[in-house]
Structure 1
Amino acid sequence: MDEEKGLTQIYCGPGKGKTSVAIGQAIRAVGYGKRAIVIQFLKGRATSRLDYLNAMEPEVRLFRFEKKDKFYEDLTDEEKKEENLNIRNGLNFARKVLLTEECDMLILDEILGALEFGIVSEEEIESLIQAKDYETELIMTGNVVTEALKNAADRVVSLEVIK
């Protein structure tokens, strides 16, 4: 596991499976005695399939800051404004987690989607990468990754459906 120490990884691409790969990394880390925090963005409260992670607490903790029960793109403009504040709270929590070294692995599921929707900026995500210490592994997921974030990450994996 030491070769994985402190990496910043991005799982991106149009296909399914990015979250599953990231969660697999968290489960693997738990096998090495590590602790992981997963912060989910843009998926709404009731739409996630990750509730099974509750059985892995306290080694893996799942956080969602959004209050609505539906996907972000299905919200009204007024609901989006409200959720944007909640998503920003999630981003601030991620920064706090990194600065206090609260876990060994931090997964920001769909943070790149929040960037795509213009809720968070590329600079804010870059500053998260810079805020993490040498030991903490940071994993981010989303469909689209910018060139700057590709350059800031240690590893970028694109998942695509072949057939």
Structure 2
Amino acid sequence: MDEEKGLTQIYCGPGKGKTSVAIGQAIRAVGHGKRAIVIQFLKGRATSKLDYLSALEPDVRLFRFEKKDKYYEDLTQEEKLEENLNIRNGLNFARKVLATEECDMLILDEILGALEFGIVSDEDILGVIGAKSQETELIMTGNMVTDALKNVADRVVSLEIVK
């Protein structure tokens, strides 16, 4: 893999491990002296699985923009509307991070889920990809991926449950 060019990668599919693979990439980047930012979407604030990342600060920084402790699917319609704004704020933050080159690697964990729920559009995500410098690596995760995103990504990896 060309270390100089920041790839746009997508980890998708019904299988488990998409977030773990993405975080593994962040840890690997830190080992090469780089800085990573992880923005989590649709995980609910109660998710503490990635709290171990705080040990890697400031090289890896984790952000969550959602305010509710419940998973998105469990929210009322009113709460969903509120969280949709928070999620879009997270995506705007991602665009800003890329435009200002604040990190060497940006991980948008479960952004494809936000796309699947119709909270963000292909155009929104393509706008984020467009803000990326050639050196910055961008990793996105989620169950499904659209053709538009497949076409602009350098690498699309599908994780599936075999057994």
Is the shorter-chain TM-score for this pair beyond 0.5, marking a shared fold?
A: yes
Q: Distance in 2 between matches of 1:146 and 1:107?
A: 18
* 1:92 aligned residue: 92
Counterpart contact for 2:40–2:110, Cα < 8 Å: yes
TM-score (norm 1): 0.97
* 2:148 aligned residue: 148
Q: Distance in 1 between matches of 2:33 and 2:6?
A: 15
* 1:60 aligned residue: 60
Q: Distance in 1 between matches of 2:56 and 2:136?
A: 19
Unaligned runs of 5+ in 1: none
* SS of corresponding position for 2:9: strand
Root mean square deviation of aligned Cα: 1.0
* 2:70 aligned residue: 70
Q: Which amino acid aligns with 1:129?
A: I
* SS of corresponding position for 2:144: coil
Q: Distance in 2 between matches of 1:147 and 1:114?
A: 16
Q: Distance in 2 between matches of 1:136 and 1:93?
A: 15
Q: Distance in 1 between matches of 2:88 and 2:146?
A: 20
* SS of corresponding position for 1:160: coil
* 2:128 aligned residue: 128
Encode CA deviations 1:24-65: one digit per residue, 9 max, x unaligned: 000000000000000000011112410110110000000000
Q: Distance in 2 between matches of 1:10 and 1:48?
A: 23
Q: Distance in 1 between matches of 2:146 and 2:76?
A: 27
The 1:10/1:2 distance shift into structure 2, 3 A limit, reads same
Instruction: Give 1:41-60 correspondences, 5 Å limit.
Output: 41-60=41-60
Encode CA deviations 1:53-80: one digit per residue, 9 max, x unaligned: 0110000000000001111111111110
Q: Distance in 1 between matches of 2:24 and 2:30?
A: 10
Q: Distance in 1 between matches of 2:29 and 2:4?
A: 10
Instruction: Give 1:95-114 correspondences, 5 Å limit.
Output: 95-114=95-114
Q: Distance in 1 between matches of 2:48 and 2:149?
A: 26
- Offset of residue 4 of structure 1: 6.5
Q: Distance in 1 between matches of 2:152 and 2:28?
A: 24
Query: Is 1:119–2:152 an aligned residue pair?
Result: no
Unaligned runs of 5+ in 2: none
- Offset of residue 128 of structure 1: 1.0
* SS of corresponding position for 1:90: helix
Q: Which amino acid aligns with 1:95?
A: R
Task: State how many pairs are aligned.
Answer: 163
